[in-house]
A and B are shown apart, each in its own frame.
Chain A
């Protein structure tokens, strides 16, 4: 449509341009013709007419010169000579003016003949005037005048008349030439005007046909488009109505979504607070675990000290056992000695009685020592057993403490992990809160946008109805335009 419209505009503009060009050509030709006519007339008036006038002025000035010469010859008054000089100078000035404007070859030749005749006349006139000055005889002067000047004057007059005739003929030729130019210009103008009329008529016909065809087609298109526009507008109005209803439902849903988002934001905030409390609790638990771990570490050190002491006690018990073995060995050896002493005493008979008593006491003492060493050995064994049991129990306790320390480390790691999880939960809660707030803001914006869309939908519905009405009007206008363009339709 745009290209067709552009084509239409260009064609219309081209028609106007053609008409304008023809008008300009015609105006230019008219101007040129008018100027040619004016120039021809001016040339006729200024040159040819002036030449005729100047020729007449030359003749008049020559007559005044003759008159002044005659006046001097009759009166002898030198004042006439002065006037004769003025007349001569006037003639010279006129001749110079004519030559300055330019002459035809014939005019130039005749003017040269006038100059020659005038020169001869001047020489004859000067000789006669000189005679008058030297001889006061009037009759001889008149005779000389008749003899010398009259033929010269006749020749001069003839030459001047010939120049005047030539000037008048040139004036007539120029006038006829100007008339011819004007006539030709009129014919050219008439021809151009006819051509312009034909071109304008043709352009008008072409444009009218084109406009009728194009506008008719466009009107048909407009009619079809208006029909489609009516259907589309009706459908759009119906759709806008349905869209308005849907927008109302969406607005209600968005409102519920907004309320839900706010509840989620509050829940997220509550989760973040709970996570913060849990994080604080986890940190407290971690501190407690640290303290407990320190206590366990201290217990471990104490247990290790106890184990060391117990082991030392076991070593001391072993040393005591060794010493007890020595004592036992001493008691056995003492017992052996006592037995041997008893044997010796028995062998000594009555003399060995006292020695036998001492030996017996020594043997008893050795037996008692042996018994005591057995008791001590038993006690030491009990002590060693107790030490071993204590060491084993302490080592078991140490292992248990170590395992407890490891459990505390695991518990601390668990607390750290719990703290990290709680921190992540808190951050997630904050993110949920922030995201939900942003979501609420976005939902509010969506709600506003939906309201705007609903308003726009209502406006669209109204606009669609207006469009429908406008389409109807456009259809009517297209019908009217079609009738205007194509009455038969």
Chain B
């Protein structure tokens, strides 16, 4: 990066930033979907942002004896006690991460959060990019089952949060609240 290219990049950033103020407000459902790209068991999966209540680094977990192998522990988030489950375990992608990572709060159930290894980024795709459940070939030639999404030419698994919560409810003893 020389001085002229840096200045040009700064100019482009400034123009894009200024232009963003001219963009009209889009309707609530404009046919796009915001996705969070997360690394789960060495696989990058997409999580719909609207199905989450927030994302943050995983706070210190307090382990609890439980028959649910996906339960990693409980943690305090914004004054609320949250049960943290392993996204990899719930999605059958692999064992739970041993330590650290990110948690994403689940929309509609503020007492549950999903633990994954790393936040890769954010993506906005059209609805057409979401494919029906089938067996396809994902990144690195791996077979991907379930709903997938095409992001920048790469097929990734799309993990819906409500089905995961439903799975938790079903596996909880007596169908109690998780």
Give the B-binding residues of A (Cβ under 8 A): 335-336, 338-340, 342-344, 346-347, 349-350, 353-354, 357, 361, 363-365, 367-368, 372, 375-376, 379
Contact = CB atoms under 8 A, between A and B. Distances in A.
A479 B49 CA distance: 167
Contacts of A357: 20, 23, 25-26
Given A339-B36, A347-B107, A372-B9, A353 B25 contact: yes
Contacts of A350: 28
B28 A364 contact: no
B60 interface: no
A379 B16 CA distance: 24
A327 to B, nearest CB: 14
Interface in B18-41: 20, 23, 25-28, 34, 36
B7 to A, nearest CB: 13
B13 A344 contact: no
A447 B36 CA distance: 121
A343 B54 contact: yes
B169 interface: no
B28 A344 contact: no
Nearest to B49: A343
B122 A346 contact: no
Mostly, the A contact residues are: helix
A361 B122 CA distance: 13
Given A346-B50, A379-B1, 11 more contacts: A335-B122, A342-B122, A343-B34, A343-B49, A343-B50, A347-B53, A347-B107, A357-B20, A357-B23, A357-B26, A364-B20
B28 A342 contact: no
Contact of B55 (A339, A346, A361, A372): A339
Mostly, the B contact residues are: mixed
Contacts of B16: 364, 368
A365 B17 contact: yes
Nearest to A332: B119
A375 B20 contact: no
Contact of B34 (A335, A342, A375): A342
Nearest to B13: A368
Interface string B49-65: 11011111000000000
A123 B52 CA distance: 228
A379 B1 CA distance: 7
B34 A346 contact: yes
B55 A340 contact: yes
Nearest to B17: A365
Interface of B: 1, 9, 13, 16-17, 20, 23, 25-28, 34, 36, 49-50, 52-56, 107, 119, 121-122
Nearest to A335: B122
Nearest to B104: A343
Contacts of B121: 335, 367
B52 A361 contact: no
27 contacts: A336-B56, A338-B122, A339-B36, A339-B49, A340-B56, A342-B49, A342-B122, A343-B34, A343-B50, A343-B53, A343-B54, A346-B49, A346-B50, A347-B107, A353-B25, A353-B28, A354-B25, A357-B26, A363-B122, A364-B16, A364-B20, A365-B17, A367-B122, A368-B16, A375-B1, A376-B1, A379-B1
B26 to A, nearest CB: 7
B162 to A, nearest CB: 14
A343 B55 contact: yes
A339 B9 contact: no
A377 to B, nearest CB: 11
Contacts of B26: 353, 357
Contacts of B119: 336
Given A346-B49, A347-B107, A354-B25, A336 B34 contact: no
Contacts of B122: 335, 338-339, 342, 363, 367
Which are the 5 A-B pairs with shortest beta-carbon distances? A346-B50, A361-B20, A340-B54, A343-B49, A379-B1
B21 to A, nearest CB: 8
A367 to B, nearest CB: 8
Contacts of A347: 50, 53, 107
A144 to B, nearest CB: 213
B48 to A, nearest CB: 9
A346 B27 CA distance: 11
Nearest to A370: B121
A191 B34 CA distance: 193
Residue from B17, B26, B54 whose CB has the most chain A CB atoms within 10 Å: B54
Given A336-B119, A361-B17, A343 B52 contact: yes
A340 B16 CA distance: 22
A344 B17 contact: no
Nearest to A375: B1
Contacts of B1: 375-376, 379
Contacts of B9: 372
Contacts of B52: 343
Nearest to B2: A379
A335 B25 CA distance: 21
Contacts of B107: 343, 347
Contacts of A354: 25
B55 A336 contact: yes
Nearest to A340: B54
Contacts of B20: 357, 361, 364
A349 B28 contact: yes
Contacts of B34: 342-343, 346
B70 to A, nearest CB: 23
Nearest to A369: B13
A321 to B, nearest CB: 15
Nearest to A338: B122
A347 B107 CA distance: 8
Contacts of B53: 343, 347
A335 B17 CA distance: 16
A290 to B, nearest CB: 45
Nearest to B54: A340
